[in-house]
């Protein structure tokens, strides 16, 4: 998806065949299971399935052109990789012109990531794989400070439950909060449209390669 594109609901001309748009999005959603590189674009366009417009239809065709150019992209799970549980969290709340929330989104994303870590460690434990701690990477310094600081401000009282949950995991050492530069924030590829150079850089960081390329 183009980095500077701003898609809105009910803006522009309607598509002639809305059902075709919905079927196409449905097929692409299945494809996201093993193609994380299109996840953001597909989920974004899925928001407009009830009333798709021409701009949304054009964006879908952008995805199709990309898939045609890179049909054999995939994540390589190397047997030589070190086994570490690392979670990257981010929230691009301000780019959505229809459902903008507040800066709390960054912190709530961190809370959701912490829940995901707990779920994953329990799943791995069931498989006889023990995880003593996990690293949670975030590019928002304020969210990290809020998770580590026991002092609550008046404006943050309504997210107190989330704060206690994360802080408990941090204090026990189970979750280690790590600040990461935005350039290396892997979650960006799943939360926003970014420039092509940055897109392909993060793709390589995710371990995504052309599976049929000569080695």
Residue with tokens 């310094």: 141
Do residues 108 and 162 touch, judged by C-beta distance below 8 A?
Answer: yes
Cα of 114 vs its chain's centroid, Å: 14
135: burial class by Cβ within 10 Å (0-12, 13-18, 19+)?
middle
| Residue 166 in this model has a pLDDT that exceeds 60 | yes
Provide CB contacts within 8 A for 38, sequence distance 6+: 28, 31, 32, 63, 66, 67
Confidence of residue 169 (pLDDT cuts 50, 70, 90): confident
| pLDDT tens readout for residues 61-92 | 999 998 888 777 777 777 787 778 888 888 76
Mean pLDDT for 1-21 is 84
Task: Give the residue, 205 or 26, on which the prediction is more confident.
Answer: 26
pLDDT 10s digits, 40-50: 999 999 999 98
Q: What are phi and psi of 80, to 5 degrees?
A: -90, 0
Alpha carbon separation from 72 to 97, 153, 209 (Å, rounded): 34, 50, 8
Query: Higher-confidence residue: 93 or 188?
Result: 188
The whole-number pLDDT of residue 161 equals: 60
- Backbone CA torsion sign across 186, 187, 189, 195: negative
Class of domain 86-184: alpha beta
Cα–Cα distance between 16 and 54 in angstroms, integer?
A: 9
15-33 confidence digits (pLDDT tens): 888 899 999 999 999 988 8
Query: What gap in Å lies between CA 171 and CA 93, rounded to an integer?
Result: 28
The overall pTM is greater than 0.75: no
Domain ranges, ordered by start, for the chain: 18-71, 86-184
- Write down the pLDDT at residue 153: 46
């Amino acid at each position: 998806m183009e980095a500077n594109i701003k898609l809105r609901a009910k803006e522009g001309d309607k598509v002639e065949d809305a059902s075709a748009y919905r079927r196409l999005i449905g097929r692409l959603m299945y494809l996201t299971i093993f193609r994380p590189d299109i996840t953001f674009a597909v989920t974004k366009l899925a928001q407009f399935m009830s009333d798709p417009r021409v701009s949304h239809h054009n964006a879908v065709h952008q995805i199709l052109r990309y898939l045609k150019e890179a049909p054999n992209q995939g994540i390589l799970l190397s047997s030589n990789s070190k086994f570490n549980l690392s979670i990257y969290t981010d929230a691009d709340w301000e780019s959505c012109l229809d459902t903008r929330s507040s800066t709390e989104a960054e912190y709530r994303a961190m809370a959701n990531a912490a829940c995901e870590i707990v779920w994953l460690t329990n799943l791995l434990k069931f498989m006889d794989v023990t995880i003593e701690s996990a690293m949670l990477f975030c590019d928002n310094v304020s969210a990290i400070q809020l998770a580590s600081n026991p002092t609550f401000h008046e404006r943050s009282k309504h997210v107190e439950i989330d704060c206690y949950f994360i802080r408990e995991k941090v204090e026990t050492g189970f979750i280690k909060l790590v600040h990461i530069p935005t350039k290396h924030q892997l979650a960006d590829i799943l939360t926003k449209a970014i420039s092509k150079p940055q897109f392909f850089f993060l793709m390589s960081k995710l371990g995504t390669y052309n599976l049929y390329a000569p080695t």
